[in-house]
Amino acid sequence: MSMRLFGAFCAAFSLSLTPLLAQEQQVNYHLSFPNAVHHEAQISVQFTGIKSDTLQVLMPRSSPGRYALHEFAKNVYSVKASDSKGQPLRISRTSPHQWAVSGHQGEVTVSYTLFGDHADGTYTGIDESHAHLNMPATLMYAPSFEQAPAQVTFRIPQGSNWKVATQLEPLNDSTFRAPNFQYLMDSPTELSDFAFAEWAVEDRGKKKMIQIALHHQGTPAQFDAYVAQTKKIVAEQQAIFGQLPDFDFGRYTFIGCYGPQAVGDGMEHRNSTIVSSSRTLATTMAGLLGTVSHEFFHAWNVERLRPASLEPFDFQKANMSDALWLAEGFTTYYGDLTMHRSGVNDLKRYTSGLSGSLNYVLLSPGRHYHSLVEMSMQAPFVDAARSVDPHNRHNTFISYYTYGSVLGLGLDLTLRRDFNTTLDRYMQALWQKYGQPEKPYTLADLQQTLAEVTKDTAWAADFFRRQVYGSELPDYAALLAEAGLQLRKETPGKAGMGMANLEFSKQGAKLLNGTYVTSPLYKAGLDRGDIILTLNGKKVSSEKELDKILNRLKPAHTVPITYQRQGKTKTASIVLEEIPTLEVVPFEDAGKELTPAMQQFRQSWLGTMAR
């Protein structure tokens, strides 16, 4: 899920091109796990070639791919510093995430204990079975050493059979190298007794290695099936762009952790992804592969084709971008589309996903508050951000992942219908102009490229004005009909109170979240925490009872509703509405004629890519 911004990254691989100061400086990390059972790592970092009287050492506050602050320093303790002879140095904490070391002779070793018990794409999870390390959540750094190369040595616990999976450059089985700080922070690492597979892919005369390192509790047969499906995903996405990226060190690694200690997530990186889930290959193979598909598409879209609004990534601040609707949203669209094109998912599963996405975007009131660009800029508040106070985001926000995906759907179908081109070709054009040369783009660049692909500058400007800088959406029913798919009401004529998250008990139905401004419940004055006691004079004690009451009523009926708020019983009138939920159904399943033209349109879109 986001940005890996390295500036002139590629030049850093040649030490001969590194500034003289960086040649003289070295950073060496050592990590060991003597108390893994209690989620601790012992970490030391040696800085050689210090040029100032006082060395400033920081813990990151944010992580590439996330946009909020996470304050990783909260899990660091027992911080000490020593000089080149092992003698203690004075170290003082100058802020919650920063330490100052003085009295050195040009070399400092800082040691600390790290606690990590959250194995996902953002944090670190350590136990006796593995060490799952996101580097910003794991490693301290010195800003004055950001251009210096870094070596990382992992000390494997005795008898653990742990191996190391990482995009870092291997020097031997336990020591790895990063050319600079940005690459180091972008290099998640899994230490465990993982299953491993790799294969070579021919790409423009080059052989590129794809690897899978999966820490899981499944069977070898399940792992083999996972690998086989991942190969299809890789091949299909290679076809979309016409090439693979030039992976550093010639390899790309899928790093996976599926088990009860993991938290569901996926995070893209320059030459790898880290995916995690508490679910297993046996129960949710397709869902886990969906995350694999999304994250691999990021190897192009975000890792190399990246917005200028996130350049450079700041590890001490929240990072905001106006382009996440494309960076994450279009990636979501193609992640799902790849799953169908590669044959991992069938048409029923794909249209079911479209139904969910369209319901969320079309029925949410958020578009009345913010444009798509503004939704992207909300990321620091919503992307794994944490807060304790209630918010009104269910009314004011629509995820740029889904909103951007639905925009991608509409744009793809419009390009196919009206311009005899495709979103594939648009992404290829962006890749060639900005991704392959790693030139950060602006929104104006995106608009100009769309004008070039459509050969219609006025239309591209109008599209961006209405649908990107604005909140308009196309007629999805008409667009989907081109492919013989019907967008229709799922339960026409059925009455409802609007979208609501209810918890039922003998007392009634408690509203667990705030009500939607467009819903009958909101208009009747009900809000979070209220307990619905009766509807139309009938007691609401279960979901079944509520359905029974509503089945006797019709949309537009006005009925009494009683509810309890802060211990007091209140009465109001509620005007019921037709349940607005939509579904996408193939014409052939809806009893409608699927014409040859529709079949051809559908095949071009969902089948073999129209190149």
pLDDT at residue 386, as a whole number: 80
Q: How confident is the model at residue 4 (pLDDT cuts 50, 70, 90)?
A: very low
Nearest to 49 by CA among 186, 154, 150: 150
493-529: per-residue pLDDT in tens? 999 999 999 999 999 999 999 999 999 999 999 999 9
Q: How confident is the model at residue 609 (pLDDT cuts 50, 70, 90)?
A: very low
In sign, the C-alpha dihedral spanning 594, 595, 598, 603 is positive
pLDDT at residue 606, as a whole number: 97
Q: Cis before residue 555, ω within 30 degrees of 0?
A: no
Question: CB 308: neighbour CB atoms within 10 A?
Answer: 16
280-297: per-residue pLDDT in tens? 999 999 999 999 999 999
Question: CB 465: neighbour CB atoms within 10 A?
Answer: 12
pLDDT at residue 608, as a whole number: 53
φ, ψ of residue 76 to 5 degrees: the values are -110, 135
**Rounded Cα gap, residues 547 and 549, in angstroms:** 5
Joined together, the tokens standing for residue 607 give 């089948």
pLDDT at residue 440, as a whole number: 98
CB-count burial class (<10 Å; 0-12, 13-18, 19+) for 108: buried
**Rounded Cα gap, residues 51 and 502, in angstroms:** 61
Residue 99: strand, helix, or coil: strand
pTM: 0.94
**Rounded Cα gap, residues 188 and 186, in angstroms:** 6
pLDDT at residue 5, as a whole number: 36
Strands (E), 360-498: 485-489, 495-496
318-360: per-residue pLDDT in tens? 999 999 999 999 999 999 999 999 999 999 999 999 999 999 9
Task: Please give the average per-residue pLDDT across 593-600, as a whole number.
Answer: 97
- In eight-state DSSP terms, residue 388 is S
Long-range residue pairs from 540-548, CB within 8 A, at least 24 positions apart, any chain = 540/504, 540/508, 540/509, 541/504, 541/505, 541/506, 541/507, 541/508, 542/504, 543/502, 543/504, 546/502, 546/504, 546/509
36-49: per-residue pLDDT in tens? 999 999 999 999 99
pLDDT at residue 7, as a whole number: 37
pLDDT at residue 385, as a whole number: 83
**Rounded Cα gap, residues 310 and 273, in angstroms:** 19
**Rounded Cα gap, residues 89 and 80, in angstroms:** 8
* 187 contacts 168 by C-beta, under 8 angstroms: yes
